[in-house]
Structure 1
């Protein structure tokens, strides 16, 4: 008899479902990909339905259903916080309570409804940071490892340190709310005019344009930082406990005025604030990791939680901590908690053995729905689209490499969808990293987003250390490590010095489209085991151009989740400046599409096109 375990995360940010069968990860997906509502926090009904379909079972055949945290403990924290700051938090209390009373505290009822009343066994509720830790360690390639989880907040914990060995994890210490590195970073995200739980990537990308002029101010006024990485935040500067904003008037006074309004012009202050909180974040993460290494003696480190998506900090961990190898859960945020709760149930609660694998047990994080030939043909028929069928892979790859070499932008959709916030070559947009205009072109004409946002390079793993300062023994398959471009590929900037984000147009290397202003790049290494077709495309492009590096960015526009289906991909292709689209072995050229397709653009951009 096989054992089916469904893991769920919901109601706070990026709801998801994951299915584990006899300890094997079979399926996982975020709800947003199906509903097309970015960061959808609702009950993950579509994700559940997909997971059950992928396994070929009904809800009645599930043996266990696990939820990634304990709602009553989180509710306890909310009530205690509101009481502690009363009456200041009354407006926030009124806003939060209806959903808690009618939905979040009624989780068994909600899950019964979502499973059609077919599941009749008990539910499992794991703790939030247990779920993160399980998602980090159990799929990792390590027999034993130190574990570090850092995020905004779960029930009470905001960070945890622990150790994994075999089929068990043990969390040894925690940092508790309201002292939170994730919330500190989100406070600066809010203050710089970006959306919390969405704009943290923007803040990280903005940081290299500024100078960390406020780092000492943060250290001196906002937090009391200790050698082991634990800290206390001075709550007089923040408003997230009692209000509907992240920062207080005292915070604004300290940093020279009110928060930047969304979409207002970025000033030097925002650039320097981003640089400053990034430096402080890296320092805290490094201190935690060094303390963890000293207490565990482990050679390996596993990371999860939203802060683990800070790939700049991860790069410093790899280069400067004492850990030899690092493995980061690709879905490090709340979505990954669904997977962690299922794995925790299998290994920790059911005490089932675990065998670690190389490269890992995450299956390249290609855990979402696949696109079939039937799906593609239905999309072609629905739109009267024009596509060339190229079943010979060599011919397909030669054609795509030619398009890329000509400076064209190619949507690349292959097989199963990625689980996690990064497109890893399954739902990606590709471009030529050598093109000096490509970064601005893709940001403004394809993604419809801020021009300063950096792009990540795809590079064959065997060539990564030729272009980037990363050891040949290390890899970054999930685009979660930032490393400097090697000196021999850098170019001195000889143009007139530009100010602020205008520096994006400087040519800084032989691969300028993926080189950030500080000569860094967020690397995705591609190997033959995890991504064989993508590796062959890079090889074909390298044979043609001498360069084994391409731009990879997620297949979506600003304000839209990454595409899921062939229909999603074709409509996004029509609405943007992409030149070509490849879905499995079908090639669509923009110039060949019917004129009626242009009508799709206005409706598509009206629905998405904002953040």
Structure 2
């Protein structure tokens, strides 16, 4: 039985494929279109996933879609969306509940049965069916689906059941996004910047933040005097400015101590509210196991608080916890309802996306006239690259299939020596071109993780922060509060990346590497070898590794860089003035 899940027409669209209950492929559309957070029907991702699964569109038995379009339209109309589309014909597409089915037919070329699940059911299913748990309590927290913003439920043999929910406009995701907008960052993409900024400040605005939310037995409610979710210019009212006593930061302005304190305050508030939600969920579903998804579940600092202070002994966070991951949930849920329950195995490897065919990397470099060295064994490659890293090189590392989800986990990564205190600034200058306050994350050989990080469970997806062990000299990946967002790498899951970490450890005593996503600011993570080569040439990375092939910058003809700059120059992203994106 072949089931496809689709998440589309909001942001970060994606596709996933189950074959006989096994998740075999998943991909983001943005990786193919090169348009960050591309919301379009995932035509390219769909085709790629089918190719990876080895099936044709005529063999697909069922498509699951990640939300109920008519219910979403009702909420859009209630929120007075029509006044925002006057004179903007393209925006009227947002008011077309028939569009998802029409585009599945017309753009994906699929004419079989399509089932629609609710948005929070898709999120919940994405976590449960990937957790390996026989049953669990399920928490979903995001900005908004059709109407739900926080859902409490359970999952087991009979599938997923939502027991209670909090409804729009009362939303923890929108609360956090409002402060993201207030701090001059882009909504629906830069919330992680607020999380990264928070440790620099103190939560001295917590009392003012507490006044924004009223808690009650059924959950919580925002005080709507402070919020305006129907305004496409900002998400807050003048009352919030007065209550906080700090003027909103304009995009591009310097980040001050006041902004750090605002970030610390909203992060503290979020953690407190989430803990109360998980406590309530545990009373409803007294399971020792929690599955957690939704965009807010990408807040790795809050995830660590839930694990440390919450009532659940085991916590599984869906690695693609945002809307893209709902493609997995939609497929799994409709497959189960159709009589094909997905596998009970825990998801440990998210390399589910595009992979270059054999010989493609060699053909690319040869055709482009780029000199390379072929190091066609794991041991030789690991030793050669580890030597370059230990010597201070910054490496673009491209291996196998692309990761699904927002994190680069060793397939599409930029790697560097974490012991070098200057490395963060150097990588920002070379390629990332991002805010200095944002931390970089480490990857570590799993069997030695406890030597360097206060971590007692596997962390393969970089979804929690932990303390760096005192005395470990890892300044490039240690945040201002002494924490790090760790990825543990298991030799059985990713032997090549593990071999590189081990080889670096043999040279330095630290089987740890700085690991950040392989892309320039404002671009999606690289997908193809061509994307990787272009990013390498545009930036100042020292080394490019494409599967077994190693390219050193000193060997690359300057004419290639000049030619690329002529035909496809890098363009820094513009800062959107509109925050009206969560519709």
Q: TM-score, normalised by structure 2?
A: 0.95
User: Are residues 1:208 and 2:189 paired?
Assistant: no
Alignment partners' CA distance in 1, 2:328 and 2:115: 13
Count the aligned residue pairs.
574
Give 1:592's aligned residue. 555
**Which whole-Å deviations, capped at 9, do the CAs of 1:194-227 have from their partners, x for residues lacking one?**
100111111111111111111111102x111247
Alignment partners' CA distance in 1, 2:94 and 2:250: 33
Which residues in structure 2 correspond to 1:291-330 (within 5 Å)?
291-330=280-319
Alignment partners' CA distance in 1, 2:572 and 2:9: 22
Aligned pair in 2 of structure 1 residues 327, 93: CA closer, same or farther (>3 Å)? farther
User: Are residues 1:350 and 2:335 paired?
Assistant: no
**Which whole-Å deviations, capped at 9, do the CAs of 1:43-67 have from their partners, x for residues lacking one?**
1111111112222222222111111
User: Are residues 1:333 and 2:322 paired?
Assistant: yes
User: Are residues 1:178 and 2:163 paired?
Assistant: no
Give 1:462's aligned residue. 447
Question: Which one of the candidate residues 15, 18, 38 is aligned to 1:17?
Answer: 15
Question: Residue 442 of structure 1: CA displacement?
Answer: 1.1
**Which whole-Å deviations, capped at 9, do the CAs of 1:564-595 have from their partners, x for residues lacking one?**
00000011011112100111100010111011
Aligned pair in 2 of structure 1 residues 285, 90: CA closer, same or farther (>3 Å)? same
Alignment partners' CA distance in 1, 2:200 and 2:254: 14
Give 2:269's aligned residue. 280
Alignment partners' CA distance in 1, 2:91 and 2:157: 43
Q: Give unpaired runs (5+ residues) of structure 2.
A: 576-583
Secondary structure at the aligned position of 1:330 is classed as coil
Give 1:369's aligned residue. 354
Alignment partners' CA distance in 1, 2:326 and 2:451: 36
Aligned pair in 2 of structure 1 residues 457, 601: CA closer, same or farther (>3 Å)? farther
**Which whole-Å deviations, capped at 9, do the CAs of 1:390-449 have from their partners, x for residues lacking one?**
112211110111011111101111100000100011000001111111111112322111
Asked if structure 1 preserves the Cα contact closer than 8 Å seen for 2:400 and 2:411, the reply is yes
Alignment partners' CA distance in 2, 1:296 and 1:94: 49
The range that moved more, 50-59 or 565-574, is 50-59
Alignment partners' CA distance in 2, 1:463 and 1:603: 46
Give 1:495's aligned residue. none
Question: Which one of the candidate residues 224, 228, 239 is aligned to 2:214?
Answer: 224
Asked if structure 1 preserves the Cα contact closer than 8 Å seen for 2:431 and 2:521, the reply is no
Asked if structure 2 preserves the Cα contact closer than 8 Å seen for 1:302 and 1:327, the reply is yes
Asked if structure 1 preserves the Cα contact closer than 8 Å seen for 2:365 and 2:371, the reply is yes
Give 2:69's aligned residue. 71
Alignment partners' CA distance in 2, 1:62 and 1:175: 35
Q: Give unpaired runs (5+ residues) of structure 1.
A: 84-88, 490-509
**Which whole-Å deviations, capped at 9, do the CAs of 1:330-371 have from their partners, x for residues lacking one?**
111110111110000111x113345422xx1x3511100112
User: Are residues 1:263 and 2:226 paired?
Assistant: no
Question: Which one of the candidate residues 16, 20, 25 is aligned to 1:27?
Answer: 25
Asked if structure 1 preserves the Cα contact closer than 8 Å seen for 2:538 and 2:570, the reply is no
Question: Residue 137 of structure 1: CA displacement?
Answer: 0.2
Alignment partners' CA distance in 1, 2:205 and 2:94: 42
Which residues in structure 2 correspond to 1:113-132 (within 5 Å)?
113-116=106-109, 119-132=110-123
Asked if structure 2 preserves the Cα contact closer than 8 Å seen for 1:92 and 1:242, the reply is no
Alignment partners' CA distance in 2, 1:557 and 1:8: 27
Secondary structure at the aligned position of 1:521 is classed as strand
Asked if structure 2 preserves the Cα contact closer than 8 Å seen for 1:214 and 1:272, the reply is yes
Alignment partners' CA distance in 2, 1:120 and 1:408: 51
Secondary structure at the aligned position of 1:483 is classed as strand
Give 1:111's aligned residue. 104
User: Are residues 1:135 and 2:126 paired?
Assistant: yes
**Which whole-Å deviations, capped at 9, do the CAs of 1:494-541 have from their partners, x for residues lacking one?**
xxxxxxxxxxxxxxxx10111000001001111122222111111111
CA RMSD of aligned residues (A): 1.9
User: Are residues 1:481 and 2:495 paired?
Assistant: no
**Which whole-Å deviations, capped at 9, do the CAs of 1:56-87 have from their partners, x for residues lacking one?**
2222221111110001100011112229xxxx
The range that moved more, 321-330 or 557-566, is 321-330
Secondary structure at the aligned position of 2:291 is classed as strand
Asked if structure 2 preserves the Cα contact closer than 8 Å seen for 1:166 and 1:354, the reply is no
Question: Residue 461 of structure 1: CA displacement?
Answer: 1.5
Give 1:196's aligned residue. 187
The range that moved more, 97-106 or 331-340, is 97-106
Question: Which one of the candidate residues 402, 405, 408 is aligned to 1:423?
Answer: 408
